[in-house]
Each structure stands twice: as structure tokens, then as C-alpha cells.
Homo-oligomer: A and B are copies of this chain.
Amino acid sequence: METISLEDAKRVVAAAEKKAADIGCPMDIAVVDGGGNLKAFVRMDDAFLGSVDIAINKAFTAVAFKMPTEDLAKAAQVGEPIFGINTTNDGRVVIFGGGVPLRRGGDIVGAVGVSTGTVPQDQEVAEAGAAAF
């Protein structure tokens, strides 16, 4: 009764790790299942300690709101409709790019979250992970 198997999660993490190595930026990489619960995680050597939480919660956020975190970011800016959403859910909502849903058919069954680089780097690595799903 798993929405995403560990084998699938490891393949996503491995693809993200490879992309992170290719672009020369070590990353924290997390995969959560369709319930937002952690399935697999790695912190690459020299990646940020502070990004353990961010990677895990980017993945949580992408499942929790069924969209990439970069989309959520736009609506959460100052003066935009959901400004302040990042303080809900016990502070687990991350409102910048790097969290990407994992889809099977039309359904979101998990997500990958990446953190340590610039936001475009995090996003690129997360997308590489998701592409391997």
C-alpha cells in the first residue's frame, strides 16, 4: 500500500544526485510519498545542513498543494493572494522553487525536493529527479 516504492524513490534520488554532480553543486535531496511522508533522503557531501529541512519540506509542499513550489512562490509574494502561506502547516510550506510533484498517470503520488544551490539550480536538479520517475 505504497504510493511510491523505495525502488522508485531511489531512482529519483540517483538521477537528482547525478544532475547535481554534473552542474557541480552538491544538494540535499528528498522524496516523499503521496501522503507527504519521507521515503528517501540524501545529503551530498558539502551540501547545506540548513537544507535538510528545506529539501524535505519542498517535497512535502509540492504534494500538499499539488504543484511545483515555484508556482506557489508567485502567489505568495508580498501583496499577492496567499502572502503568508509559508507560516501555515507548522512552517513546513516552502515558497520557492525546488519542489516538484511526481506523477503516475494523472495522479500526484509523491514529490522530490532539492535544496542548497540557487533556486534555478535546485529546480533543475529536482526536474532531473522527477524525469527519472
Contacts and interface: CB of A to CB of B under 8 A. Distances in A.
Contact of A90 (B53, B63, B95): B53
Contacts of A131: none
Given A50-B61, A54-B88, A88-B54, A39 B42 contact: yes
Copies in the complex: 4
Contact of A109 (B1, B5, B64, B85): B1
Given A2-B46, A49-B35, A52-B37, A78 B79 contact: yes
A5 B46 CA distance: 9
Contacts of A38: 41, 43, 52
Contacts of A24: none
A122 B16 CA distance: 30
Contacts of A91: 87-88, 90-91
A37 B61 CA distance: 14
